[in-house]
Amino acid sequence: MARFAMVLLAAGLPMLSLASEQAQRADDQATGNREVTITRTWMPEAQPPFNPKLPTLFLIGDSTVRAGSKGNGGDGLWGWGAPIGDFFDRTRINVQNRAWGGTSSRTFQTLGFWEKVLADLRPGDYVMIQFGHNDGGPINDQQRARGTIKGVGDETEEIDNLLTGKHEIVHTYGWYLRKFVTDAKAKGAAAIICSPIPRNIWRDGKVLRASEDYGKWASEAARSPDAFFIDLNTIIAGHYDKLGQEYVSAGFFGPKDHTHTVAAGAKFNAQCVVEGLRAIDKCPLTDYLLNSSADRQPTR
């Protein structure tokens, strides 16, 4: 616990309270397994029962938001959507992680995942959106066919999908993001677009940003339908730079790739989501955040 607290301070993130640290240390000693301890409340079976009387925050995205089909830490990997619920007052708001690994902004819609979220969406709900990691793939192939046209314009590409066998009109990344927002607003819900978290790729001591592609396009897409925007890519990258490549690589990412985070990385990124959320002017979702020192963001 002391090591994680030092990380938070080094990155400019908030320190846990002394009582929280002591309680966490006792849990660690009792279980002998730090990973099990910090992820206990993230498990699907540990989530509070859905309360239809409360508003709901729906999370949609790829495996960096919800890793694996079960979202239970399979292969030791976690998306930031697993720990994010710990930062909200769950007696006042439901948190539903509907992200699905392997999807892009396009295939989350064409495979029916968005349709299921829309069916449950009610006035006063919120949708937090983060895509981009899979949008750069092939638009049409026999493996995944999940790519989108780069940019935010109205360009289209008409294809006979080699994977599904269906005729399809493919749009830009920004077009799909805007559709999420306009659909959500039509149901009376508010939308928050997040730029995609940075990959564990470094150059000259700095983690690579998405400021010239998917991060930029996410920001531009959020402006058109007047959605809230969290520049999650920039926020996390800034903290990663302070911590350094060696620590980030060893502590936050799995050994097999440069995209998916382990528990510590997922929690760190979730805290960055909260940092970005608190910085948004007049976003009513902030009213449901807990006010403890564990989730209070640092004063700049």
pLDDT, tens digit, for every residue of 200-210?
999 999 999 99
Which of 235, 217, 237 shows the shortest CA–CA distance to 171?
217
Average pLDDT over residues 172-200: 98
CB-based contact 230:195 (threshold 8 Å):
yes
pLDDT, tens digit, for every residue of 220-233?
999 988 899 999 99
pLDDT, tens digit, for every residue of 141-152?
999 999 999 999
CB-based contact 38:267 (threshold 8 Å):
yes
What pTM value is reported for the model? 0.87
Task: Determine the longest span between alpha carbons in the chain, in angstroms.
Answer: 59
Give 6's pLDDT tier (boundaries 50, 70, 90). Answer: very low
The tokens for 182 are: 């306009």
Res 172 pLDDT > 50: yes
The domains of the chain, with CATH numbers, are 2-288 (3.40.50.1110)
